[in-house]
A and B are shown apart, each in its own frame.
Chain A
């Protein structure tokens, strides 16, 4: 059974960089049929796709966040990561990592449990 687990600091100061890692277990991150993605959910609000990355490197970012994002993959550790630069209180959210199926029927079939990141001084 595939499992995803987010990790990183729960508190980040305004203007700094938020860094999160998702560790994948029970399967390889190098599969050809999947992207690996980040989704966030501000408290009391809906889901927002942040971006997706393929193990070979292509990345796709939400245009509204693109200028502040970097995603990367470490196949040796079966992990992928997210950086969000210049954070503000509006970036406070539960961040989920997920596996996104490619192809004709693209959807998220596995999700991590989520990690709350608060932006505050």
Chain B
């Protein structure tokens, strides 16, 4: 079965750029979706179709893709961005869901 690999943690200082990667064989055939989960809360979607932002998500959030690796990029990181971030994709049929292991973003 397919797996998505994320780094367990990323740390940046306020104002810097954070890059969270996700690697796996669904890419590039399938798109990546990114969720932000703050402590004690349900996840929320912050990026879809790899590079599209839902309404309400700051422009500081963007996505990129290169072969079998996709990335969530957060420019000008703020303290409020501290959270766990999960990538998600599916198998080729679009029905079996795969999550990455999650990356904890720490704002120093």
| Chain B: CB-nearest residue to A107 | B33
From A13-21, A45-53, A76-84, A85-93, give the one contacting chain B. Answer: A45-53
CB interface residues, A 51-74, toward B, < 8 Å: 52, 60, 62-63
Count class of interface residues, chain B: 20 to 34
Tell me if A103 and B96 are in contact (CB < 8 A): no
In the complex where A105-B31, A105-B48, A108-B88 touch, is A49 in contact with B97 (Cβ < 8 A)? yes
CB interface residues, B 54-93, toward A, < 8 Å: 84, 86, 88, 90
Instruction: For the complex, give the distance between the alpha carbons of A107 and B45 in Å.
Output: 9
A25 interfacial by beta-carbon distance below 8 Å: no
The minimal Cβ–Cβ distance linking A23 to chain B, given in whole angstroms, is 15
The minimal Cβ–Cβ distance linking A116 to chain B, given in whole angstroms, is 11
Count class of interface residues, chain A: 20 to 34
In the complex where A46-B101, A107-B88 touch, is A102 in contact with B43 (Cβ < 8 A)? no
Neighbouring A residues of B1 by C-beta, 8 Å: 63
Contact of B42 among A35, A46, A96, A109 (CB under 8 A): A96
Q: Which of B48, B95, B98 has the most CB of A within 10 A?
A: B95
Tell me if B96 and A108 are in contact (CB < 8 A): no
Instruction: For the complex, give the distance between the alpha carbons of A108 and B31 in Å.
Output: 13
Tell me if B101 and A60 are in contact (CB < 8 A): no
B10 interfacial by beta-carbon distance below 8 Å: no
Tell me if A60 and B48 are in contact (CB < 8 A): no
Tell me if A108 and B45 are in contact (CB < 8 A): yes
Neighbouring B residues of A62 by C-beta, 8 Å: 96
Tell me if B48 and A107 are in contact (CB < 8 A): yes
Contact of B96 among A46, A60, A102, A109 (CB under 8 A): A60
Neighbouring B residues of A49 by C-beta, 8 Å: 96-99
The minimal Cβ–Cβ distance linking B75 to chain A, given in whole angstroms, is 23
B13-44 near A? 1/0 per residue, CB < 8 Å: 00000000000000000010101010000111
Neighbouring A residues of B31 by C-beta, 8 Å: 105
Query: Residues on B close to A: CB < 8 A?
Result: 1, 31, 33, 35, 37, 42-45, 48-49, 84, 86, 88, 90, 94-102
Pairs across A and B, CB under 8 Å, 28 listed: A35-B95, A37-B97, A46-B84, A46-B86, A46-B99, A46-B101, A46-B102, A47-B43, A47-B99, A47-B102, A48-B99, A49-B97, A49-B99, A60-B96, A62-B96, A63-B1, A100-B97, A102-B94, A105-B31, A105-B48, A106-B90, A106-B95, A106-B97, A108-B33, A108-B88, A111-B42, A111-B44, A112-B42
